[in-house]
């Protein structure tokens, strides 16, 4: 009896251990089955969430590209450059670019003078050619006296070829005026061109004015508010030299300017007063920062358009742009070509360019642009409130009167 009892107890203990071991094995198997399933479910959830985000981002990108393609079509609209503080604009936009030196106006003759000089030069060249031809004829005559009849024929053929070359050269000269060929000249001849510069004055305003004076043309400057002595001097110089000056807001701060009619009116009165106090001239032309069709204003632009109409102020957008504010780093040659291409496609062009410390290439592009236009017979004019405006957003009379 005594031996049987311990054996039973040992058997019971073994059974319990086996049972616990089985339970542990079952639990481990269940965990091994459930855990991967849970991980897979979590992974699928993450993948689904990422797919949704990717789809949403793709959709937003497509919408943005569609909007951009409309906004920047034919380079008419430009990338919004916001100067939150116009007084710090020079430091904010400075790229430490080397300032260009302006060539003396005496170095570039007027189109008419070029023609006259070109004619004299051409006639001189023609005389030299004739003299050389005469010498060659004398030499050829000496050779003819010693040559056979076949030699004489070769000399006459040579003379005939020389005459054809001279006729071709003279014909080419007739079709070229001051380096501008006839076909190129016809693209711009008689067209009305209004060059406009936004965001000034800047450290390059003097250079722009010097180049304009060199070609005896005027432009329109849509300025922002700056109260330093250098800027005040430039406001005066713009007006005193016969250029047009227009308002481009005081602050050029999109968020503040377009916040409400009240903030717009306050900004408008500041820039109008600054221009008048500095130059003694009341300007009645305005250009909205970003244009009247901008995509940055939280307030409907019609609110501000009605206000300007009530103030008898005309706002001007543009139909040609050089591309100096599109976010693309164009070379001076490309900027010039962009402007010329746009001008060639319009009878009347308002050309958008910029006058800031960051736009050195714009200044460098002006010589070729003005040379081409002036020599082609384009009419370079300035804007005033009587000039028919080009507007991206234009309200009808009923809309203007509807408050």
244 and 345 part of one domain: yes
Residues 97 and 140 placed together within one structural domain of the fold:
no
Calpha distance 72→362 (Å, rounded): 19
pLDDT score of 77: 45
Q: State whether 239 and 361 are in the same domain.
A: yes
pLDDT in tens, 219-258: 999 999 999 999 999 999 999 999 999 999 999 999 999 9
195 near 380, Cβ under 8 Å?
yes
Q: State residue 180's pLDDT score.
A: 75
| Structural domain boundaries enclosing 30 | 1-71
In this structure, of 141-155, 286-300, 322-336, 338-352, the range with the lowest mean pLDDT score is 141-155
Residues 235 and 329 in one domain: yes
Range of weakest confidence among 27-31, 79-83, 242-246: 79-83
Region of poorest pLDDT, from 5-9, 134-138, 347-351, 370-374: 134-138
CA pair distance 36, 42, nearest whole angstrom: 10
Digit-coded pLDDT (tens) for 173-194: 334 445 678 888 999 999 999 9
Instruction: With a cut of 70, say whether residue 274 has pLDDT above it.
Output: yes
Report whether pLDDT(341) > 50. Answer: yes
pTM check: above 0.75: no
239 is a domain residue? yes
| Beta pairing class for 285-286 and 314-315 | parallel
Whether residue 392 sits in one domain with residue 344: yes
154 & 7 share domain:
no
Least confident of 25-29, 95-99, 233-237, 323-327: 95-99
Q: Where are the alpha helices (DSSP H) in 241-280?
A: 254-257, 261-279
In this structure, are 248 and 195 located in the same domain?
yes
Does residue 365 sit within a domain?
yes
- Token pair in block for residue 169: 């050269």
Q: Is 180 a member of any domain?
A: no
Q: What is the pLDDT of residue 8?
A: 80
User: Over 50: is that where the pLDDT of 85 sits?
Assistant: no
pLDDT at 162: 54
> What pLDDT does 7 receive?
80
Q: How confident is the model at residue 353 (pLDDT cuts 50, 70, 90)?
A: very high
- 230 & 339 share domain: yes
Instruction: Work out the mean pLDDT of the chain and round it to a whole number.
Output: 78
pLDDT at position 115: 36
Report if residue 179 sits inside a domain. no
**Tokens 């001279």 belong to which residue?**
166
Q: What's the half-sphere exposure (Cβ side, CA atoms, 13 Å) at 369?
A: 31
297 and 388 within one domain? yes
pLDDT classification of 388: cutoffs 50, 70, 90: very high
Give Cα 286 distance to the centre of its chain.
Answer: 20
Is the peptide bond between 366 and the residue preceding it cis, with omega within 30 degrees of 0? no
Percentage of the chain modeled with pLDDT above 90 = 51
Residue 140 has pLDDT above 70, yes or no: no
> For residue 182, what pLDDT is reported?
87
Q: Does residue 192 sit in the same domain as residue 295?
A: yes
In the chain, the number of structural domains is: 3
How many other CB atoms sit within 10 Å of the CB of residue 260? Answer: 14
pLDDT at position 398, please?
A: 59
Same domain, 251 and 368: yes
Residue percentage of the chain with pLDDT more than 70: 69
Task: Report which of 37, 353, 349 is spatially closest to residue 191, judged by C-alpha positions.
Answer: 349
Task: Identify the pLDDT of residue 159.
Answer: 52
Per DSSP bridges, beta strands 320-321 and 176-177 are unpaired
Lowest mean pLDDT among 19-23, 77-81, 301-305: 77-81
Do 233 and 268 belong to one domain?
yes
Specify the pLDDT at position 130: 42
Q: Select the more confidently predicted residue: 114 or 352.
A: 352
pLDDT of residue 196: 98
């Amino acid at each position: 009896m005594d031996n049987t009892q311990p054996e039973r107890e040992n058997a019971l203990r073994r059974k319990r251990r086996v049972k616990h071991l089985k339970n542990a094995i079952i639990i481990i198997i269940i965990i091994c089955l459930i855990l991967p399933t849970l991980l897979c479910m979590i992974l699928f959830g993450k993948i689904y969430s990422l797919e949704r985000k990717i789809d949403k981002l793709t959709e937003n990108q497509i919408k943005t590209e569609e909007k951009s393609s409309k906004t920047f079509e034919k380079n008419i609209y430009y990338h919004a450059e916001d100067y939150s503080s116009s007084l710090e604009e020079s430091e904010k936009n400075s790229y430490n670019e080397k300032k260009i030196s302006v060539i003396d106006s005496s170095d570039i003759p007027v189109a008419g003078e070029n023609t006259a000089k070109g004619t004299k030069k051409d006639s001189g060249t023609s005389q030299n050619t004739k003299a050389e031809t005469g010498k060659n004829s004398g030499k050829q005559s000496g050779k003819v006296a010693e040559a056979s009849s076949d030699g004489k024929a070769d000399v006459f053929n040579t003379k005939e070829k020389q005459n054809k070359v001279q006729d071709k050269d003279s014909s080419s000269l007739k079709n070229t005026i001051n380096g501008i060929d006839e076909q190129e000249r016809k693209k711009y001849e008689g067209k009305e061109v209004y060059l406009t510069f936004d965001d000034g004055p800047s450290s390059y305003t003097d250079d722009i004015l010097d180049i304009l004076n060199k070609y005896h043309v005027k432009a329109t400057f849509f300025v922002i508010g700056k109260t330093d002595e250098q800027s005040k001097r430039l406001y005066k110089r713009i007006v005193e030299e016969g250029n047009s000056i227009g308002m481009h807001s005081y602050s050029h701060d999109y968020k503040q300017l377009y916040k409400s009619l009240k903030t717009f009116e306050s900004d408008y009165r500041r820039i109008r007063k600054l221009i008048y106090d500095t130059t003694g001239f009341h300007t009645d032309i305005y250009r909205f920062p970003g244009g009247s069709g901008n995509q940055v204003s939280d307030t409907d632009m019609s609110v501000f358009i009605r206000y300007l109409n009530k103030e008898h102020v005309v706002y001007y957008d543009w139909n040609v742009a050089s591309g100096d504010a599109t976010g693309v780093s164009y070379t001076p040659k490309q900027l010039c070509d962009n402007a010329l291409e746009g001008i060639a496609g319009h009878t009347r062009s308002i050309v958008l360019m910029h006058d800031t410390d960051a736009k050195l290439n714009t200044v460098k592009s002006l010589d070729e642009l003005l040379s081409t236009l002036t020599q082609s017979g384009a009419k370079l004019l300035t804007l005033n409130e009587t000039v028919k405006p080009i507007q991206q957003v234009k309200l009808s009379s009923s809309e203007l009167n509807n408050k």
